[in-house]
């Protein structure tokens, strides 16, 4: 509740010539990282971006003068601030539910493997790439020396598979000899995690 109130009041103060909305959303995201221990898995900023019209309407209403003697004790409407707070917290819950559904292991695995199978058929990825990706989905990090045994191929083939996945950005590594880690490149967000980024309205 305090984060919601601080979000609005910062915008009401309007401390910067430009970028106040972005700073307020970044501030709220940072507060949720600490207070709600969200780990960055979900973000209030995404939820607000999906409901821009309602978000701006409620923000504007918070600037209204209080309606009567029961509408708070300051100059601004307490009822309007309460409505914004309810919207803000409901948006947080919506984003938690959205990401929980999106990150269901079985569904995520299916989306990733379907993508890999299509890339193999198109000749973009070598055979066994889907098998290696499936291992990464369960283990996250794999020493380079273990790749061949995990996918059941000779060392040379294993290097070719891992190299292709590195080029596609779905694997990453700190150095040429460091362990391989699964990555979630933004370019594949629409396939691996559909709906993660709000669609831009058409011009």
CA-based end-to-end distance of the chain: 36
Q: What percent of the chain has pLDDT over 70?
A: 90
pLDDT band at residue 178 under the 50/70/90 scheme: very high
CATH code: domain 105-192 is 1.10.10.10
Interior/surface letters 44-71, b for 16+ CB within 10 angstroms, e for the rest:
bbbbbebbeeebeebbebbeeebeeeeb
pLDDT for 17-58, tens place per residue? 888 889 999 999 999 988 888 777 888 998 998 889 999 998
Output the pLDDT for position 8. Answer: 85
Cα gap 52→58, rounded to integer Å: 10
Output the pLDDT for position 23. Answer: 92
Output the pLDDT for position 203. Answer: 41
Query: In the predicted model, is pLDDT for residue 164 greater than 90?
Result: yes
Output the pLDDT for position 68. Answer: 60
pLDDT band at residue 59 under the 50/70/90 scheme: confident
Cα gap 41→49, rounded to integer Å: 16
Q: Where are the domains of the chain?
A: 2-102, 105-192
Cα gap 53→122, rounded to integer Å: 42
């Amino acid at each position: 509740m305090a984060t919601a109130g601080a979000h609005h009041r910062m915008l009401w103060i309007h401390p910067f010539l430009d970028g106040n909305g972005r700073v307020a959303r970044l501030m709220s995201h940072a507060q949720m990282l600490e207070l709600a221990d969200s780990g960055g898995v979900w973000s209030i900023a995404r939820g607000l971006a999906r409901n821009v019209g309602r978000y701006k309407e409620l923000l504007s209403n918070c600037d209204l003068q209080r309606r009567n003697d029961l509408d708070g004790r300051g100059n601004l409407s307490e009822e309007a601030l309460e409505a914004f707070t309810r919207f803000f917290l409901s948006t947080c819950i919506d984003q938690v539910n959205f990401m929980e559904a999106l990150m269901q292991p079985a569904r995520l695995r299916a989306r990733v493997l379907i993508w890999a199978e299509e890339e193999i058929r198109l000749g973009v990825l070598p055979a066994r790439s889907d098998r290696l990706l499936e291992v990464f989905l369960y283990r996250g990090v794999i020493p380079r020396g273990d790749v061949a045994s995990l996918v059941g191929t000779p060392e040379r083939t294993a290097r070719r598979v891992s190299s292709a996945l590195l080029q596609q950005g779905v694997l990453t590594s700190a150095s040429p000899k460091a362990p391989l880690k699964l990555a979630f490149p933004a370019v594949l967000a629409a396939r691996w995690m559909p709906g993660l980024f709000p669609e831009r309205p058409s011009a």
